[in-house]
Chain A
Amino acid sequence: MRQAFASVRMKLDPLVCACRMARQTAHLMVGLQDYDAYAAHVRTTHPDIEPMDRATFYRQATDRRYGGGPGSAFRCC
């Protein structure tokens, strides 16, 4: 049973992967990074620091994108 399950998941994997990538692309188009990737990154590289929560992360990302600092949105013509 478990094996059948695993094989179904294997088949679905590319689909799940494509969906995740589409979602990530859409987010990055408006300048938002992936929160889960960020949290995972902080946990592995800085185990002593607690990552920001989701709301703070998106708030900061929005402010940074239009705030004129590094990485601010420079809309094109």
Chain B
Amino acid sequence: MTAARSHLPWIALGLIGAFALATVALHRGESIGALWIVVAAVCTYLVAYRYYSLFIAEKVLRLDPSYATPAVRLNDGLDYVPTNKNVLFGHHFAAIAGAGPLVGPVLAAQMGYLPGTLWILVGVVVAGAVQDFIILFLSTRRDGRSLGDIIRQEMGATAGLIAQIGILLIMIILLAVLALVVVKALVGSPWGMFTVAATIPIALFMGLYSRYLRPGRVGEISVIGVVLLMASIVYGQHVAESPTLAPLFTLKGETIALLIIGYGFVASVIPVWLLLAPRDYLSTFLKIGAVVGLAVGILVVMPEVRMPAVTKFIDGTGPVFAGSLFPFLFITIACGAVSGFHSLIASGTTPKLIENETQARFIGYGAMLTESFVAIMALIAASVLDPGIYFAMNSPAALIGTTPESAAAAVSSWGFLITPQDLTLLASQVGENTILSRAGGAPTLAVGMSHILSQLIGGEALMAFWYHFAILFEALFILTTVDAGTRVCRFMIQDLIGNAVPSFRDTKSWTANVIATAIAVTAWGYFLYQGVVDPLGGINTLWPLFGISNQMLAAIALMLCTVVLFKLKRERYAWVTIVPTVWLLICTLTAGWQKLFHPSPSIGFLSHARKFSDAAARGEVLAPAKSVEQMGRIVLNDYVNAGLTIAFMAVVLAMVFFGIKWIFAALKADGVTANDAHVQPAE
């Protein structure tokens, strides 16, 4: 009786959530309070955490409180340290929270707020949080081994090697697309460019300070750094208004791309303490602060969502990214619903610090729910804008032209009424020359955040400050990822080449370092530059490619989880990972197929290549090319993108093959065959 009664509050919570969700889903009309979406999300998270994650913890994984975790067994005070679960939750959340959940939902808002909201909520509960939780558990049971190592251990060396190559390719696309987001945010924006450039000397100062003056005083130097950053935002306005300084920081996309590529190279060969570590402090704390600020803003200001629940662009004709709701919505919102990258984090430092394996539920499943909430907030921030503004900001110049008049006319003709005055007024309010065609998510999120935060603090006078604060925090965050990611890529390349030339593995070798870094930077730089000169804005092409790769990594990680469940003789419960694996395979393979063979040139790489090579054969020159030679380069880019898509699909299909092979082997075996640190009793 009491047991039944303990469920009552949860049933109530579930009913409140269902009511909020129904309101969000069925509401038609002018606008709806963003709070409805927040309530629906929070209730979903709480109920899913209480019941589904408990089911996984008790029945599927059978977490064992008496199991001595690596942190306890190997405690060395350095890498393996039993850590309080709340502290570790913060660590894990900071590691998984990146720019992805902020960008994807903003792009997906072109289909309306409803499809994105539903996928974020369903995706995280049945796929994303499940993946993070189980991989964290698997790694904890294996002394904190990495995903690649666990795949090698459980699915053989060949599968391990294929996964390793897949991860490297994904890293390259990730770095290119994130760098592209920064370029898109900074083109022709002296204010933004100045503040981002100012982070470099600020970080160098912080690095020297904490190396030589006050080692280990992270709090102190971070406070100094944040104060300097805020000062640079304030001073940025002066730069933007100065006739002598503004031209110095008003740069074209191509220039910014080359600067970032050069920066990426330099930043990843100089010592980490000088630039990378201090930037990491700044971006981590700024991100946590901005996320908390946005949450408070949404709760206090209670903004109205003005985007329709569903727009006509679910048919695949949208200006932000091409392709219909299925499969492209599920590719666009990767992080926030399910992100394959998290499997690398969950098998990184967190499993080495976990005090008791039962806490994997709170840390793995819980942190991912929190990340999902960040995605919901980004979706809200994009949806509180006037839809006309949203589409003017996110549509490529090829569709809406370059003047406020042409943009207003084009966007209004789609049914989202907006006047040229609205567009110029907003641009001046946020301190920019123009806000048109700033695809990539960051500027839209920044306008949305400044819309919300200025109602909280400062009113219209501070709109420009909040806008540039949001741009800075995203750019800083992404550049830290570019820097750290290039380094990770470099080690992966060294490791891969090391298979053939063992001396290349030596991480202290200066030659190997420079060569591998150059390869890494050239690889992502190629895609970045290609995206910058793309007339459709680049995000259009690259974001789906990134989404496909990230979701494919998730499919690989969940496949591994499935294999281990079979090896543990828990096939009864294997549906927990099979269902999301199959769904991700369907989405990514369909999306990959469409990116290759779709007859529309805006979706299919091959038909795009055909369109340009046919035109070139007729002697025509199509924009953005200005010569026949450039036409040839565009065709080449299409073939490279197509080749990469094929590589992603080949990697994931190979992993499916190995997965099925190991599942059958496990079914035939008599006992538990998983390489667990301590073998658990069979069913």
Assess A59 versus B273: contact at CB under 8 Å? Given A33-B77, A75-B484, A76-B95.
yes
Task: Name the distance in Å between B385's Cβ and chain A's nearest Cβ.
Answer: 24
**B332 contacts chain A at the CB level, 8 A cutoff:** no
Q: Closest residue to A66 on the B side, CB-wise?
A: B272
Q: Whole-angstrom distance between the alpha carbons of A65 and B271 in the complex?
A: 12
Q: Closest residue to B210 on the A side, CB-wise?
A: A58
**B503 contacts chain A at the CB level, 8 A cutoff:** no
Chain B 85-101, CB-CB to A under 8 Å as 1, else 0, gives: 01110110011111110
Chain A contact residues: helix, strand, loop or mixed: helix
CB of B348 within 8 A of CB of A74, answer: yes
Q: Closest residue to B175 on the A side, CB-wise?
A: A77
Task: Name the distance in Å between B136's Cβ and chain A's nearest Cβ.
Answer: 14
CB of A71 within 8 A of CB of B79, answer: yes
Task: Name the distance in Å between A28's Cβ and chain B's nearest Cβ.
Answer: 4
Q: Closest residue to A29 on the B side, CB-wise?
A: B94
**A41 contacts chain B at the CB level, 8 A cutoff:** yes
Q: Which residues of B sit under 8 angstroms from A77, Cβ to Cβ?
A: 98-100, 174, 178, 334-335, 339, 341, 481, 546, 550
Q: Which residues of B sit under 8 angstroms from A33, Cβ to Cβ?
A: 77-78, 81
Q: Whole-angstrom distance between the alpha carbons of A27 and B91 in the complex?
A: 9
Contact of B77 among A41, A55, A67, A72 (CB under 8 A): A41
Q: Closest residue to A73 on the B side, CB-wise?
A: B484
**A25 contacts chain B at the CB level, 8 A cutoff:** yes
Assess A31 versus B349: contact at CB under 8 Å? Given A54-B216, A76-B95.
yes
**B141 contacts chain A at the CB level, 8 A cutoff:** no
CB of A29 within 8 A of CB of B284, answer: yes
Q: Which residues of A sit under 8 angstroms from B352, Cβ to Cβ?
A: 70-71
**B497-540: which have CB < 8 Å to A?**
507
**B243 contacts chain A at the CB level, 8 A cutoff:** no
Assess A62 versus B277: contact at CB under 8 Å? Given A57-B216, A77-B98.
yes
Contact of B78 among A25, A30, A61 (CB under 8 A): A61
Chain B 332-353, CB-CB to A under 8 Å as 1, else 0, gives: 0011000101101100110011
**A15 contacts chain B at the CB level, 8 A cutoff:** no
Q: Closest residue to B75 on the A side, CB-wise?
A: A41
Q: Which residues of A sit under 8 angstroms from B87, Cβ to Cβ?
A: 21, 24-25, 28
* Size category, A interface: 35 or more
Q: Closest residue to B481 on the A side, CB-wise?
A: A75
Q: Which residues of A sit under 8 angstroms from B91, Cβ to Cβ?
A: 25, 28-29, 31
Q: Which residues of A sit under 8 angstroms from B174, Cβ to Cβ?
A: 77
CB of A64 within 8 A of CB of B79, answer: yes
Assess A67 versus B272: contact at CB under 8 Å? Given A75-B98, A76-B100, A77-B341.
yes
Chain B contact residues, CB within 8 Å of chain A: 75-79, 81, 83-84, 86-88, 90-91, 94-100, 144, 174, 178, 210-211, 215-216, 218-219, 222, 272-273, 276-277, 280-281, 284-285, 288, 334-335, 339, 341-342, 344-345, 348-349, 352-353, 480-481, 484-485, 487-488, 490-491, 507, 546, 550
Across the A-B interface, give the 8 residue pairs with the lowest CB-CB distance, nearest first: A68-B491, A38-B77, A41-B77, A77-B100, A58-B216, A25-B90, A55-B215, A29-B94
Known: A21-B87, A68-B490, A76-B339. 18 other contacts (CB 8 A): A24-B84, A27-B218, A28-B353, A33-B77, A35-B216, A39-B77, A41-B76, A57-B216, A59-B273, A62-B272, A63-B272, A63-B273, A66-B484, A72-B491, A74-B344, A75-B98, A76-B335, A76-B345
Chain A contact residues, CB within 8 Å of chain B: 21, 23-33, 35, 37-39, 41-42, 45, 51, 54-55, 57-77
A selection of 29 A-B contacts at a CB cut-off of 8 Å is A24-B87, A26-B222, A28-B353, A29-B285, A30-B277, A31-B280, A32-B216, A38-B77, A38-B78, A39-B77, A41-B81, A54-B215, A55-B216, A64-B79, A65-B272, A70-B144, A71-B349, A72-B488, A74-B95, A74-B484, A75-B98, A76-B335, A76-B341, A76-B342, A77-B99, A77-B174, A77-B334, A77-B546, A77-B550
